[in-house]
Amino acid sequence: MKISFTINGEAKSVEVSDGNSPLLWAIRDGLDLKGTKFGCGKAACGACTIHVDGNAVRSCSFPAKLAEGKEITTIEGLSKDGKTHPVQQAWIDEVVPQCGYCQPGFIMATAAMLDKIPNPTDEDIDKNIINVCRCGTYYRMRKAIHRAAKMNGNTDVQ
């Protein structure tokens, strides 16, 4: 079965033998975009988070067939026009990652949240970003999320 969608601004088609197979496999194996990670396979950990039509989605639990005609963004397409996305820049500035495996999912979840909640409180962050990081980088991520919010709003960042 052929599925066509836009991914990171480019029209693409991918062939899958089973339309119910996870979109994650189509992205990683079909399109060779390896930035999106497999974690739990049960929509629990968030390592596979991507954007579908601007909303955070767990791609391990999103049937590939439902991507037909959709606008998809992965970590590879978050930065646009050669400019680092504010969330990615904040991650760099706050030296967030430790092992790094789960970070693409966190970054994508954060970018989606900031589109809806531009100035999140600590509580907003705790409730909306529920991905799992086994290295325990949550404290640094929270700082980075606040920093990214400021960068988005063009306010002074220390």
Q: Residues in the site for other proteins, rule: CB under 8 A? A: 20-22, 41-44, 49, 55-58, 60-63, 66, 109, 112-117, 120, 124, 126-130
Nearer to other proteins, 54 or 95 (CB): 54
Nearer to other proteins, 81 or 123 (CB): 123
C-alpha dist (Å) from residue 62 to 50, 66, 83? 10, 7, 29
CB of 71 to other proteins, least distance (A): 15
CB of 113 to other proteins, least distance (A): 3
Q: Cα(144)–Cα(117) distance, rounded to whole angstroms?
A: 15
Pairing, β 49-52 against β 10-15: unpaired
Q: Residue 75: which of 112, 129, 30 has the closest Cα?
A: 112
Nearer to other proteins, 95 or 139 (CB): 139
Say how many C-beta atoms besides its own lie within 10 A of residue 17's C-beta. Answer: 6
Nearer to other proteins, 3 or 113 (CB): 113
CB of 9 to other proteins, least distance (A): 22
Pairing, β 71-73 against β 49-52: antiparallel
CB of 132 to other proteins, least distance (A): 9
